Amino acid sequence: MTSVAVVGATGAIGRSVISILAERDFPVSSLRLLASAKSAGQVIETAWGPVTVEDLASADPAGIETAIFSAGGDRSLQFAPAFAQAGATVIDNSSAFRMKADVPLVVAGINDEAAHGHTGIIANPNCTTMTLLMAVAPLHRAAGLTSMVASSYQAVSGAGKSGVDELSRQTKWFQTQENSLLDGSWEDPGGDLWPRPIAFNVLPIIGDATTHGYTDEELKLRNETRKILDSPDIVVEPTCVRVPVMTGHGTSATLHFDRPVTPGEAVEILGDAHGVQVWNETVATPLDAVGVDDVLVSRIRPTLDGKGGLNLWTVGDNVRKGAALNTVQIAEIINAGPAR
């Protein structure tokens, strides 16, 4: 049995973590829930009884064995090291520690063994990287990925509840002036998250600009792919796009390998892969992926360049497998101990 703390317990991912811990019968001996001061004092019903939310800033981490952080990068940087120093294994869902050399970046089912090399903190990858690599990693193991062009289609829940609220509000706004969307006379509904409307629209940029016009979100896709696959020379060309979908990140990827890979071989490899469903008869969509543990893969087809590459489409629940589920799976890996 393990003493567990969920940090950021009142957010969407934190609540999902609590639910998944119960669903998967994780051996919780005691559960502590922590969040910001404004959430402290709330009582959350859990499978282990009602738990009062504590203020993270004043909480004593002593006695916690596993701490799952989903409270944002700033809070992780501020508080996670203290939890680790107090003896907890911290599984962090932010970008704060992902690229640090001494912090494992783990996708359960892909590089489980990396989790056992931690020194107190384990990082959870970006949700887009994670759902894509569930399909890409088995192919890489079989044929050696050399390059990948990836375009993501990311749901608004990736920006949190505020993203969901903004899409909902803007959708209602445009529904009162549908003809304006056809003739260009529409009026901007305004928003707090994005400079352009997201409802009935597509925003071909996510994150903050860095060098050469790429955003930090796009560089995460490149850098995290290389680290997780332990292949620093893989060429990754990323484009990240925000779409008017509530939940479910999709990615279109073009893959080339050390040797040709046929669609038939890819279907066979992915059919045996952990956490993957191959959809041959029906195209998988974000709505299909919501609430599903597995990543859905469809549209597997050869590249047209004659070089034996593959094109494919992946989609996964960015809140579930892309965040909450993977943190619990990492906790299970640590709880089980190294493979013998």
Residues 137 and 270: their CA atoms lie apart, in Å, by 10
**Residues β-bridged to residue 210:** none
In the chain, the amino acid numbered 190 is G
249 belongs to the catalytic site: yes
Please count the residues of the chain: 340
Q: Pick the catalytic residue from 118, 127, 240, 256.
A: 127
Residues 186 and 236: their CA atoms lie apart, in Å, by 37
Q: Pick the catalytic residue from 118, 140, 240, 249.
A: 249
Residues 104 and 89: their CA atoms lie apart, in Å, by 12
Residues 264 and 276: their CA atoms lie apart, in Å, by 16
Other beta carbons within 10 angstroms of residue 327's beta carbon come to 27
Residues 201 and 188: their CA atoms lie apart, in Å, by 12
240 belongs to the catalytic site: no
* Residues that are catalytic: 127, 249
